[in-house]
Amino acid sequence: MKKASRKKSQKIAAVPLLKPWLADLKKVVPDLKKVWASGKLSLGVYTQKLEQLACRELGVKEAVAVSSCTSGMILALRALNIHKKVVVPDYTFPATSHVVLWNGGEPRFCDIGLTDFTISPEALAGIKDPAVEAVIAVNIFGLPPRISELQKICRAKGWKLIFDSAQGLGASYRGRSIGGFGEAEIFSLSPSKVVTSAEGGLITTNNSGLAERLRQLRDYGKGPDKEDMLGVGLSARMSELCAVVACHNFVQLGRLRREREQLVERYREKLMPLKEIAFQNGDASRASGHNYFVFRITERARTTRDQALKGLRAAGIECKRYFYPPLHRLSAYRGQYRAQCPNAEKLSEQALAVPLYSGMKLAQQDRVIRQIFEILGEP
């Protein structure tokens, strides 16, 4: 009787939405011990090593390691003296607009494309606001936006172009790695990203003067003598312990990206018969880093996105409404900002993120696929 009851109580493990990939601990520990013994826990040799590694892998002149992507964006706007209006896509993670407010500016929300989920150049070109100083374009779920069109618009209007590339590691545009297309690009190395440092971020740029300014600002704004303050910065240094983790993981970026690409291609192939869903699609010039796998549950489906979400969770499949709600409807903003962004509104109501991570087993993926079919209906 006891054996039977024990079997009955066993539950099938949930399939996680995300899972950090970490290098073999045995290989990481010797470097952690070196940091421990040195007593230098920030701005040491491993931070420098990570920055050099990022420059080499991403094909940029400068990389500045910081405590998070969010702090990196705050510092980038500060270093570029941007404090008025900044255009951001209405469909993105809230940090993109939060950083504008932290710098005393005002976000100006722009609609996105319903096919690629990224900021719409057509909508951007239609913005005629003399107070706008810059645009923060976003790599959504790993897919870069239509960069050359954005660059052309920003040049014509005199706007600075910055990239929130939090989800962009491993992505490329016209054969070049994401990292050197804007005044600055800011990457996240949080646990949910293709490469993690546990917590942290990277700012990349081809402007050496800007990089020097950013290195000052990440350490409160200290000058060369480390006493006088040349600017008003933050405590935004990356821990040396995090830099060690990042260095060991970063060298696997290409392999991790290819593994995720295979999983995404398999998802798309298996789910293609379901006419009720629509995938995120770019063009041939853009290669995603595949940070997340997100699709739309369209009006053709017999169930809504939220009903599908509930059903998947009940079956032990972790999933998420991503991003929800659109930025201009965040409770934190208390209705202060208006936006005419119908595509962002629709995508926010239809988009569903399902499990994708390095090391995901095909049996786990098959379980997710079967459950999606059960909820949305056999073809």
Give pLDDT, residue 10: 58
Taking the CB of residue 185, how many other CB atoms lie within 10 A of it?
27
Is the pLDDT at 11 greater than 90, yes or no?
no
**Helix axis angle, 362-376 to 253-271, nearest 10°:** 30
> Taking residues 117-124, what's their average pLDDT?
98
Q: Tens digits of per-residue pLDDT, 250-285?
A: 999 999 999 999 999 999 999 999 999 999 999 999
Confidence band of 378 (pLDDT split at 50, 70, 90): low
Residue 352 per-residue DSSP state? E
User: Cβ(269)–Cβ(365) under 8 Å?
Assistant: no
Average pLDDT, the chain: 95
- The length of the chain is 379
Confidence band of 379 (pLDDT split at 50, 70, 90): very low
Give pLDDT, residue 15: 97
Domains of the chain: 25-250 (3.40.640.10), 253-376 (3.90.1150.10)
Query: Between β-strands 351-354 and 201-205, what pairing exists: parallel, antiparallel or unpaired?
Result: unpaired
pTM here? 0.95
Give which of 69, 78, 124, 126 is closest to 101, Cα–Cα: 78
Q: Which helix (H) or strand (E) holds 344?
A: helix 342-350
- CA–CA gap between residue 286 and residue 57 (Å, rounded): 18
User: Cβ(188)–Cβ(166) under 8 Å?
Assistant: yes
Q: Tens digits of per-residue pLDDT, 278-328?
A: 999 999 999 999 999 999 999 999 999 999 999 999 999 999 999 999 999
